[in-house]
Amino acid sequence: MTAEAILNKMGITLPAAPAAVAAYEPWVRSRNLVITSGQLPWLDGEMAYVGKLGAEVSDEQGYEAAKLCAINALAQLKAAAGDLESIHQVIRLEGSVHSAPGYRGQPKVLNGASDLINEVFGSRGQHTRTALGISEMPLDAAVQLSVWAELES
């Protein structure tokens, strides 16, 4: 089954790739690499999850926010590659979680992105990850996620 068919079976339709919020591009292709800019939890043009984990945002909401960032990243990868089947390997997720003092659940939150990538791409989705808890996030978003992927030759 294709990555997009798996997404559809999960009830997910890829949105239009969100525009960048400032003077940069949402993705760039460099030879066999595709890199996305930091994706935020946009849904239908609205920031769907705002605030900090450990305060206004629950762990479950954080997981959904990370999943939504990953869906937006997939839309960028599709825009860059033409087709998700052209992705040879997702190589890296860089995640930042907007964190209130003392919050330590960043890895579980970012699993919202990792679980989706793993399910959609199978072995092609096996990725490295970084997870930071930061105090101040652009636009008060709950999560930010960048994705690096290798394209088929």
Q: What are the residues binding a copy of itself (CB under 8 A)?
A: 20-28, 30-33, 35-38, 54, 89, 91-94, 96-97, 99-104, 106-108, 110-111, 114-115, 118, 126-140, 144, 146, 150
Locate tokens 């052209």: which residue?
A: 86
Residues 130, 115, 61, CA angle at the centre, nearest 5°?
A: 85
Contact between 49 and 60 under an 8 Å Cβ cutoff? The reply is: no
Closer CB to a copy of itself, residue 13 or residue 32? Answer: 32
Phi-psi region of 80 (alpha: psi -120 to 50; beta: other; left: phi over 0): alpha
Structure tokens at 142: 């709950």
Report in angstroms how near the CB of residue 19 gets to a copy of itself at its nearest: 12
Q: How far apart are CA 146 and CA 25, in angstroms?
A: 13
Report in angstroms how near the CB of residue 75 gets to a copy of itself at its nearest: 14
Closer CB to a copy of itself, residue 72 or residue 106? Answer: 106
Report in angstroms how near the CB of residue 61 gets to a copy of itself at its nearest: 17
Closer CB to a copy of itself, residue 61 or residue 96? Answer: 96
